[in-house]
């Protein structure tokens, strides 16, 4: 009887309450749970009549979804992917954002972060830098790096965690910023020199911060929020921006097709408000607010891109147009040939010691092979660069990019083999002579 009473009691509780249904606002993002859940809870607490539905897609996957009919029901797009916002704007897929933009800068470090016509607005930013173990650097006898080039120091051998752009999304801009600041060929040679000291991080599940925190690497190339979030949550270590680096802003926009423009504007307003921006300070987020005034509430020592003494100039559009091509080149020159690249440099340096003039001439050939580069810097009209960006969408583009990929794979395989062969030959001759 008691059990029956209990069941009936529960049933009574379950009689549906007549409540007014909330408006559902659909937000597409590529942020992780730690970011999404904080903003979701804070927004729904501030606006209890609006319920968020979060749809998650990586930028490459989000674009076709947002370009379909009625934009898949998405009201707001919120993500760090400037190329998607540029494409969506060009396609007429974004609507106006009628909010108060007072106190929101549109340029940081010389780079524009929001759309001039305000179809998308910057919502936060994040910069590239180095996460390291101070103790390990002391053991290696090296100073804290001030520029990317410092990672070529031989004392870093095997101690650098380097993310690969074909597997780690944020590495695209990391690679390109160095190409822009050093120049095309010089930049690629610098990457190869850094790679010589590196352990490659091939996928997004393999965290650079873990490599350093666990002691498997002394230093890693990463984004500030990965490092600062790890530190804030107890991982130790330190983070530094090189003197010349790049920042990657995230943006937010309202779709052209939304039937919930008023609610969408409330969401955008909240994200960009003092309250919303201050959520970025939380230990599991640690991104950089776009609203300068909010830094007054920042935890001690928090980086501020508006006062940071670093050269942040970077042409994002240029990087976007060649990101696919860069990734293919990085794999051909570094990822697929990593062991050979290291062996070739090791043998060449060994052979260069006490080399005779005749040997030196041959070793110059090896050096030339090791530093050779198969393609000039693509400009904005490059069909190949366009093909490598579009390869996932268009079979013709895929064929063109894949063909170049195979050519470059063969090019670097041959070049590194040639350098290894010459160096080995000279070292062998030298041993015979010594005998």
User: Which residue matches tokens 């070529």?
Assistant: 152
Residue 14 interacting with another protein (CB under 8 A): yes
Nearest approach, Cβ of residue 62 and another protein (Å): 10
- Binding residue for another protein (CB under 8 A) from 42, 46, 47, 54? 54
Question: Which residue from 23, 42, 47, 55 is in contact with another protein, where contact means CB under 8 A?
Answer: 55
**Which CB atom, from 53 or from 139, has the smaller least distance to another protein?**
53
Q: Could you count the other beta carbons within 10 Å of the beta carbon of residue 381?
A: 8
Report the alpha-carbon distance of residue 181 to residue 160 in Å, rounded. Answer: 21
Closer residue to another protein (CB): 83 or 192: 83
247-255 and 76-79 beta bridge pairing: antiparallel
- Residue 308 interacts with another protein (CB under 8 A): yes or no: no
Near another protein by CB under 8 A: residue from 98, 103, 169, 283: 283
Q: Binding residue for another protein (CB under 8 A) from 23, 36, 101, 302?
A: 36
Phi and psi dihedrals of 296, rounded to 5? Answer: -65, -25
CA 97 – CA 269 distance, rounded (Å): 9
- Please tell me the distance from the alpha carbon of residue 32 to that of residue 124, in angstroms, as a whole number: 15
Nearest to 54 by CA among 81, 27, 89: 27
User: Does 64 sit near another protein (CB under 8 A)?
Assistant: yes
Say whether residue 44 binds another protein (CB under 8 A).
Answer: yes
Decide: 216 and 199 in contact? Cβ < 8 Å. yes
When binding is defined by CB under 8 A, the residue of 23, 42, 46, 51 that contacts another protein is 51
The single residue among 42, 140, 355, 392 that binds another protein, judged by CB under 8 A, is 392
Q: Min. distance of Cβ 310 from another protein in angstroms?
A: 29
Q: Work out whether 233 is an interface residue with another protein (CB under 8 A).
A: yes
Query: Binders of another protein: how many residues, by CB under 8 A?
Result: 48
Q: Of residues 124-143, which lie at the interface with another protein (CB under 8 A)?
A: none
Shortest CB 371 distance to another protein, Å: 31
Min dist CB 59 to another protein, Å, is 11
Q: Which stretch binds another protein (CB under 8 A): 10-18, 172-180, 188-196, 358-366?
A: 10-18
For residue 435 the two structure tokens come to 């005998």
Contact between 203 and another protein by CB under 8 A: the answer reads yes
* Letter string b/e over residues 25-62, b meaning 16 or more CB atoms within 10 A of that residue's CB: bbbbbbbeeebbebbbebbeeebeebbbebeebebeeb
Could you count the other beta carbons within 10 Å of the beta carbon of residue 86?
17
Q: Which stretch binds another protein (CB under 8 A): 51-59, 108-116, 141-149, 332-340?
A: 51-59
Provide, rounded to whole angstroms, the least separation between the CB of residue 156 and another protein: 20
When binding is defined by CB under 8 A, the residue of 23, 42, 67, 73 that contacts another protein is 73
Question: Which of 1, 11, 432, 435: binder of another protein (CB under 8 A)?
Answer: 11
Tokens of residue 289, six digits: 């607010």
Contact range with another protein by CB under 8 A, out of 65-73, 252-260, 262-270, 415-423: 65-73
Looking at residues 16 to 35 of the shown chain, list those that interact with another protein (rule: CB under 8 A).
16-17, 19, 21, 26, 30, 32-34
Is 278 a binding residue for another protein by CB under 8 A? The answer is no
> Could you tell me which stretch among 82-90, 124-132, 206-214, 292-300 binds another protein (CB under 8 A)?
206-214
User: Does position 361 bind another protein by CB under 8 A?
Assistant: no
Burial 302-326 (b: 16+ CB within 10 A, else e): ebebeebebebebebebbbbbbbbb
- Asked whether the beta carbons of 404 and 333 are under 8 A apart, the reply is no
Task: Based on the shown chain and the rule CB under 8 A, indicate whether residue 41 belongs to the binding site for another protein.
Answer: yes
Output the smallest distance, CB 86 to another protein, in A.
19
Residue whose C-alpha is closest to residue 164's, from 203, 131, 196: 203
Q: Which residues bind another protein (CB under 8 A)?
A: 3, 6-7, 10-11, 13-14, 16-17, 19, 21, 26, 30, 32-34, 36-37, 40-41, 44, 48, 51, 53-58, 60-61, 64-65, 72-73, 203-207, 210, 230, 233-235, 283-284, 392
């Amino acid at each position: 009887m008691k059990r029956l009473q209990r069941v009936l009691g529960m049933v009574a509780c379950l009689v549906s309450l007549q409540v007014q249904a909330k408006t559902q606002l659909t937000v597409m993002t590529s942020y992780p749970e730690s970011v999404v859940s904080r903003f979701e809870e804070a927004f729904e607490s501030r606006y209890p009549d609006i319920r968020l539905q979060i749809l998650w897609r990586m930028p490459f996957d989000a674009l076709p979804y947002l370009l379909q009919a009625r934009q898949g029901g998405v009201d707001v797009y919120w993500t760090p992917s400037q190329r998607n916002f540029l494409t969506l704007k060009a396609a007429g897929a974004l609507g106006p954002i009628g909010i108060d933009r007072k106190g929101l800068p549109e340029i940081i470090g010389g780079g524009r972060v929001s759309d001039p016509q305000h179809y998308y607005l910057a919502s936060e930013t994040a910069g590239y830098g180095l996460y390291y173990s101070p103790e390990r650097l002391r053991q290696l006898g090296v100073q804290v790096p001030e520029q990317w080039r410092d990672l070529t120091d031989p004392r870093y051998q095997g101690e650098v965690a380097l993310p690969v752009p074909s597997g780690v999304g944020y590495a695209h801009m990391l690679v390109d910023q160095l190409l822009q600041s050093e120049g095309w060929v010089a930049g690629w040679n610098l990457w190869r020199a850094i790679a010589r000291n590196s352990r490659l991080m091939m996928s997004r599940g393999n965290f650079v911060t873990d490599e350093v925190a666990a002691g498997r690497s002394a230093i890693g190339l990463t984004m500030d929020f990965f490092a600062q979030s790890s530190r804030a949550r107890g991982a130790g270590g330190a983070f530094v921006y090189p003197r010349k680096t790049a920042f990657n802003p995230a943006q937010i926009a309202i779709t052209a097709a939304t039937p919930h423009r008023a609610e969408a504007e409330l969401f955008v307003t909240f994200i960009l408000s003092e309250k919303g921006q201050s959520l970025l300070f939380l230990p599991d987020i640690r991104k950089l607010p776009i609203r300068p005034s909010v830094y007054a509430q920042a935890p001690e020592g928090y980086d501020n891109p508006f006062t940071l003494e670093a050269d942040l100039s970077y042409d994002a559009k240029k990087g976007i147009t060649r990101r696919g091509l860069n990734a293919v080149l990085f794999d051909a020159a570094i990822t697929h040939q990593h062991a050979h690249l290291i062996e070739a440099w090791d043998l060449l340096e060994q052979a260069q010691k006490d080399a005779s003039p005749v040997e030196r001439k041959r070793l110059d050939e090896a050096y030339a092979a090791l530093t050779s580069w198969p393609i000039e810097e693509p400009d904005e009209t490059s069909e190949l660069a366009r093909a490598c960006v579009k390869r996932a969408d268009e079979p013709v583009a895929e064929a063109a990019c894949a063909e170049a990929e195979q050519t470059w794979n063969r090019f670097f395989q041959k070049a590194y083999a040639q350098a290894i062969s010459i160096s080995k030959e000279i070292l062998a001759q030298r041993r015979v002579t010594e005998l």
